[in-house]
Structure 1
Amino acid sequence: MPLVERYILKIAVTAFLVCLLGLTAVIWLTQALREVDLLTGQGQTLVVFLTFTLLSLPALVAIIAPVALFIAILYTLNKLNGDSELVVMNAAGMSFWRIMRPFGWLTGGVAAMVGVMAVVLVPASFNELRFLITQIRADFVANLVREGQFTEIDRGVTFSFRERSGEALMGIFLQDRRDERRTLVYIAEIGQIAQVDEESYLVLERGSVHTLTPGARDSSIVAFKRYAVDLSAFAPQGDLTFFKPRERSTGELLTIDDSDPVYAAFPGRFRSELHDRLSAWLYVLAMAAIAFAALGDARTTRQGRGLAIAAAIGGVVALRVAGFAATSAAARSDIAVVMVWAIPVLTLIGAFVIMNHGARLRRMLPAPKLPALPARLRSAPPGGVG
């Protein structure tokens, strides 16, 4: 790669990384602050909190990377033009497409990265996030129950403990009235949560199980030194794990079974999600093409580029709004799937037309009218005004 192309690529890559890291850090921090309740209100550990927030990073990067690339290209082209470097390159015989070559390498790399993330990493992170959310919800002791309170964690199930002592719960009371034929009451001095084969158990020590039968005068009591209660039997109902389209792998979306209950209820969402993933890389190319079309040619410092930058930003906003609208419409109609692909492709074609014929189009526009010179200056001798 020639030295001048390496120089352009270095500026563009540096600007892209700065934009990507800066925007990702700001947005990730705002989302992390919203999840502080995992630590304060739901009693989860710092590891769970960091895992929960970091799993959202792939989706953030996939959304931010095209925007960061667009900003980096605008910055680099504007900087090269402001320093008159584009004018010098053109005067030295460098063609427009040769100047754009290093930007093409960067755009291709970002498009490949976004494509891999959209197809593989983002659904995998959402899938892991769903498992984590399900696990947090299943831990009703951390979520629902507070010290010294009798809490109904499900219809007919009441749980309470006196206090915490490290990982142990002191003074356990658990009543199960779901079976109309009998009522079970668990009382223990100490209880502790244990994980066995991804299942949660409440291990009770030094307690008893009371069985109350309707109509019976007495209850049966069984004392124990150690007893394990399956917590999944007491978890709130309706927490079955149903994976949404965005939480499923691309291979699963391509080979979805018609008997899947979620697919049977929302087939359009699966179709929309699939095409949105597969077309994500095209929007990277379209955004880069808009930036090239707006600022790719050299102009003198007297020719303002503010209008071109504003037009490029407006074009990107319109592109993304149209893309989101097409993706939403694809969930309701098969025909709208064509628009998911057509919008970035048509944008690319339009940008290439402007890049190829931009100079000719500008010559067709009326030249700006300059203010007339005063009469005494128009009639002044070449040597100046006396």
Structure 2
Amino acid sequence: MRTHQRGATLGRIDRYILSQLVFAFGFFSLILVGIYWVNQAVLMLTQYISEGQSGIFVFELMLLSLPSLMLLVLPISAFVATVYVTNKLYSDSELVVVQATGFSVFRLARPFATFSLLIVVLIIVLAHLLVPSTVRRLDSREAELAQALSARILVPGSFESPTSGVTVYVRDITPEGTIEDLLMSDIRDPDRQTTYMADQALLVRDAESTNLVMFQGMAQTLEPNGERLSITRFDDFTVAIDSLIQQSTSDRVNPQGLSTLQLLTPDAELAQRTRRSADYLQREAHLRVTQALLAGGAAFLGYAALMIGGFSRFGLWKQIAAAVFLVVIVKLIDNSSIDAASRDPALWPLVYLSSLLAVVICLALLFIANSNLPARLRRRSAG
């Protein structure tokens, strides 16, 4: 009976701590994601609304960018939540009371380990499922946007360069779509440089191409080698401007939009479509795995670092600073490992080094914290 009551008590304590962690994680995630998302939304609104895109289109892009943003922010939220809850439990003397009843540092780690596992699962879902699917959708929408030439090269009062060597300027665009005072310079061919000027112009689209029809203007063609300038005046003139849009990457596949299975088993065709080597693609797949492991490790490290200190009415600021320092060290090693693997993709096992280091640090901190417990508490927790 006594064992059953103790087990029920342990279960309630675990659920209580876990609920505190989940609530704090949700709160900090909402704040951090909201801040980053609003900043990104302002940039998108400034860029796309000024180019004439609809609010619905911009809102869709904002939603599609959210999973990638969450993938960056949620590991930070998890670490902050763990540090906050551990510090709060210590400040309220709850952890002190629980330890006095015989809970070891390792036993108290159960709800924190469960929380870290939940973070790992969440990051796995984001990195392997949501982010690739939204990246594919974003690429599709950006490809559609590239076809909206009026948004790319016809911005009133602004010199636009949709591709290297081409500059377009228009004074104004009427509500009916008539372009007023057009200037277009094409110097992609160094042996033949052409400048078009027209009082008015229209964009005419059909199923196969987009044409710029100019009225009442002239074309100046300069041949530097022959030092010859030709001027042609016209009442109307048509130019196919599909080539003005940068097409060099239109058929290129973004590796971030590929599934993890595709990255792990790349063939020659996929390597050609992504312009990346097979080793590079496999490294990207392993990076998705390490993102989840590192996020869980950082969350658990927040608990382990704070447990090395005892109760203090001044708080655990030294331990909090140590936790932040250790996370920074782990992240620096992670960045160095990724850089090394980037230079030589065959060194992809290095990307797991930071996750392994985080596990070693957490275990070492737990052993130190448990050894710092008073001998009476260690004997009671062992019994």
Shorter-chain TM-score bucket reads 0.7 to 0.9
What does residue 251 of structure 1 align with?
261
Matched, 1:283 2:279: no
Q: Is the 8 A contact 1:329 1:336 kept in 2?
A: yes
**Equivalents in 2 of 1:338, 1:310: separation in Å?**
30
What does residue 211 of structure 1 align with?
none
**Equivalents in 2 of 1:140, 1:277: separation in Å?**
36
Matched, 1:329 2:318: no
Higher helix residue share = 2
**Equivalents in 2 of 1:158, 1:295: separation in Å?**
59
For residue 36 of structure 1, give the secondary structure of its aligned residue in structure 2. helix
Q: In terms of mean alpha carbon deviation, does 294-303 or 72-81 score higher?
A: 294-303
For residue 15 of structure 2, give the secondary structure of its aligned residue in structure 1. helix
What does residue 319 of structure 1 align with?
330
Structure 2: gaps spanning 5 or more residues: 1-7, 189-195, 216-234, 375-383
Query: Alpha-carbon deviation of 1:239?
Result: 4.8
What does residue 125 of structure 2 align with?
116
Q: Is the 8 A contact 1:271 1:330 kept in 2?
A: no
**Equivalents in 1 of 2:81, 2:355: separation in Å?**
20
Question: Cα 1:193–1:355, aligned 2, differ >3 Å: closer, same or farther?
Answer: farther
Q: Percent identity?
A: 27
Query: Alpha-carbon deviation of 1:195?
Result: 8.9
What does residue 31 of structure 2 align with?
22
Query: Alpha-carbon deviation of 1:11?
Result: 1.8
For residue 67 of structure 2, give the secondary structure of its aligned residue in structure 1. helix
What does residue 107 of structure 1 align with?
116
Query: Alpha-carbon deviation of 1:349?
Result: 2.6
**Equivalents in 2 of 1:153, 1:314: separation in Å?**
45
Query: Alpha-carbon deviation of 1:342?
Result: 2.7
* Residue 87 of structure 2, aligned match among 78, 102, 125: 78
Query: Alpha-carbon deviation of 1:69?
Result: 1.0
Kindly provide the CA deviation profile for residues 97-140 of structure 1, in whole angstroms up to 9, marking residues without a partner as x.
Answer: 44332222222211101011111222222222222223223322
Kindly provide the CA deviation profile for residues 140-186 of structure 1, in whole angstroms up to 9, marking residues without a partner as x.
Answer: 222212459998977999999896554644789999x99xxxxxx9x
What does residue 377 of structure 1 align with?
none
Please give the residue correspondences for 1:178-189 in structure 2 after superposition, counting only pairs within 5 Å. Answer: none
Q: Is the 8 A contact 2:309 2:369 kept in 1?
A: no
Query: Alpha-carbon deviation of 1:36?
Result: 3.2
Query: Alpha-carbon deviation of 1:7?
Result: 2.2
* Residue 338 of structure 1, aligned match among 335, 339, 349: 349
TM-score for both structures, normalised by structure 2: 0.73
For residue 318 of structure 1, give the secondary structure of its aligned residue in structure 2. helix
Question: Cα 1:111–1:328, aligned 2, differ >3 Å: closer, same or farther?
Answer: same
Query: Alpha-carbon deviation of 1:13?
Result: 1.4
**Equivalents in 2 of 1:116, 1:272: separation in Å?**
18
**Equivalents in 2 of 1:70, 1:50: separation in Å?**
30
**Equivalents in 2 of 1:358, 1:96: separation in Å?**
7
Question: Cα 1:78–1:235, aligned 2, differ >3 Å: closer, same or farther?
Answer: closer
Query: Alpha-carbon deviation of 1:193?
Result: 7.0
Please give the residue correspondences for 1:17-166 in structure 2 after superposition, counting only pairs within 5 Å. Answer: 17-146=26-155, 164=173, 166=175
What does residue 384 of structure 1 align with?
none
Q: Is the 8 A contact 1:292 1:355 kept in 2?
A: no
State the aligned residue count: 355
**Equivalents in 2 of 1:89, 1:330: separation in Å?**
45
Kindly provide the CA deviation profile for residues 275-323 of structure 1, in whole angstroms up to 9, marking residues without a partner as x.
Answer: 1012221102211231122123672325852221111101111111211
What does residue 369 of structure 2 align with?
358
**Greater C-alpha Rg:** 1
**Equivalents in 2 of 1:305, 1:154: separation in Å?**
56
Alpha-carbon RMSD across the aligned residues, in angstroms, is 4.6
What does residue 270 of structure 1 align with?
281
Structure 1: gaps spanning 5 or more residues: 179-184, 208-220, 223-228, 364-386
The one-letter code of the counterpart of 2:128 is: V
Q: Is the 8 A contact 1:153 1:235 kept in 2?
A: yes
Query: Alpha-carbon deviation of 1:73?
Result: 0.9
For residue 69 of structure 1, give the secondary structure of its aligned residue in structure 2. helix
**Equivalents in 1 of 2:259, 2:332: separation in Å?**
26
What does residue 182 of structure 1 align with?
none
The one-letter code of the counterpart of 1:74 is: V
Q: In terms of mean alpha carbon deviation, does 46-55 or 14-23 score higher?
A: 46-55
Question: Cα 1:249–1:172, aligned 2, differ >3 Å: closer, same or farther?
Answer: farther
